[in-house]
Structure 1
Amino acid sequence: MELTIQPVDATNREDVLGLTVHPGQQGFIETPAACLQDAADYPEFRPVGLYADEVLVGFAMYGALRDSAGGRNVWMDRLLIDAQYQGEGLGRSFTRLLLERLEQEYGRQPIYLSVFEENLGARRLYESFGFEFIHEYDADGEWIYRKT
């Protein structure tokens, strides 16, 4: 299976907006529409479609965001796999590809993400890639994880 990451643009925007998560995950991630609005409001975000054999199976955003000290932190954000494609290992595969992309685009440096404490599946996934909870929380109360 060929996995690719493609920017969200006019050619795939409507398809991205049609992605859904499993009902039990709805409280853990924003809708694709909310994500794309955030990307429009904050141009540091790069929204991308996640494709398996040229079929859209998911979405993510990433970017280098300003921190309170005026620096920039690299974030991997909003990873979702459409409900119909879950359970196939795609979340793990795309996490690996996204981490490779972040290193290519921003160089080797810490990478941040946030996750709700209750989202045990996502926490286990990210921890398997070396992310650690840094005992800080984002504005929504999500745990902030960092991979160094």
Structure 2
Amino acid sequence: MSIYIESVDSFNINEVKNLKIAKKQFHFIETITDCLNEAMKSSQWHPIAIYKGNIVVGFAIYGCFGENKETWIDRILIDEQHQRKGYGREAMKLLINLVLNKYDINTIYLSIVRNNDIARALYEELGFRYTSIDDLNGELIFKYNKH
């Protein structure tokens, strides 16, 4: 599967902003505009476009913070027209490898809304484990440890 990721820039930002998620997923993730605004305020956040061929099919944002290099894959979404094709799984695998290597770390965090069972199953399949800790918004914090 030819999924790849690129930084969000002036060439792809409009395509990224036009991505849509299914209505039933609206309460699972912040808007892309909110994510991009957050990245403009903090240089630790890195927004990326997820491509299939030459088409932007998704979006994600990751960041590394502090002396301990606490690293988060904070948001990922696949456009509703491209869901259920395995693109999210492939993009997550790429993101995991990217952040492990870029920051020379062994641990990655992410959080999910409590009832987002599809995302939870995917993340657990990829090796993330629930930490039994919830964030300030009540989301479940998951941790990935490099083997």
Classify the TM-score, shorter chain. Answer: over 0.9
Q: Unaligned stretches of 5+ in structure 1?
A: none
- Asked whether 1:54 is paired with 2:54, we answer yes
Which segment is superposed worse, 129-138 or 46-55? 129-138
In 2, Cα distance between the equivalents of 1:139 and 1:113? Answer: 13
RMSD: 1.1
Instruction: Note the residue ranges of structure 2 that are not aligned, 5 or more in a row.
Output: none
Which residue number in structure 2 is paired with residue 103 of structure 1? 100
Report the 3-state secondary structure (helix = DSSP H, G, I; strand = E; otherwise coil) of the residue aligned with 2:118.
Answer: helix
Q: Report what 2:17 is aligned to.
A: 17
State which of 119, 123, 126 in structure 1 corresponds to 2:123.
Answer: 126
Distance 2:65 2:132 in 1: 19
Dislocated runs of 4+, deviation >3 Å = none
What's the CA shift for 1:65? 2.0
Percent of aligned pairs sharing the same letter = 37
Cα distance in 1 for partners of 2:29, 2:45 equals: 16
Q: Give the drift of 1:14.
A: 1.2
SS at match of 2:62: strand
Q: Distance in 2 between matches of 1:42 and 1:20?
A: 24
The answer to whether residue 76 in structure 2 is matched with residue 76 in structure 1 is no
Aligned amino acid, residue 90 of structure 2: S
* Counterpart in the other structure of 2:110: 113
The aligned amino acid for 1:35 is C
* SS of 1:38 mapped into structure 2: helix
Q: In structure 2, what is the Cα distance between the partners aligned to 1:141 and 1:63?
A: 20
C-alpha offsets along residues 33-76 of structure 1, whole Å, 9 cap, x if unaligned? 0110111112101000000011100000111023xxx5330111
Give TM-score scaled by structure 2 length. Answer: 0.94
Task: Report how many residues are paired.
Answer: 145
Q: Deviations over 1:80-131 (max 9, x none)?
A: 0000000101111111111111122012411000001100000000000111
